[in-house]
């Protein structure tokens, strides 16, 4: 099999020896900056979409209520639920 070479590069710029370290760092910084900008645009679009959905907006109000409940109140709620649901799972003899 014949090995394919890119002869166009060799003929157009035979003296080109590649990028310098500073040029590579600059190109990397530009690429990372562009990626961060696109990520921020996606997050803004997702937040805008979430805020305009009525179901998800109401879920955020539920989450704020649950954040205000202390651990003791969670324990009391769980205990009450357990007492109501436990008879449903008892073995019938």
Tell me the per-residue pLDDT of 37-68, one tens digit each, with 9 for 90 and over: 999 999 888 888 777 766 544 555 666 666 66
Q: What is the largest CA-CA distance in the chain?
A: 92
Can you give the C-alpha Rg of the chain in angstroms?
A: 31
Q: Is the pLDDT of residue 18 over 70?
A: yes
Which pLDDT does position 63 carry in this prediction?
A: 65
CB burial readout 2-15, b (16+ within 10 A) else e = eeeeeeeeeeeeee
């Amino acid at each position: 099999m014949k090995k394919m070479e890119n002869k166009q590069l060799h003929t157009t710029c035979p003296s080109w020896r590649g990028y310098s370290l500073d040029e590579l760092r600059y190109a990397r910084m530009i690429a990372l900056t562009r990626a961060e900008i696109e990520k921020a645009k996606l997050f803004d679009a997702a937040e805008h979409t979430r805020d305009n959905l009525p179901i998800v907006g109401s879920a955020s109000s539920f989450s704020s209520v649950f954040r205000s409940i202390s651990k003791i109140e969670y324990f009391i709620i769980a205990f009450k639920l357990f007492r109501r649901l436990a008879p449903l799972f008892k073995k019938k003899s």
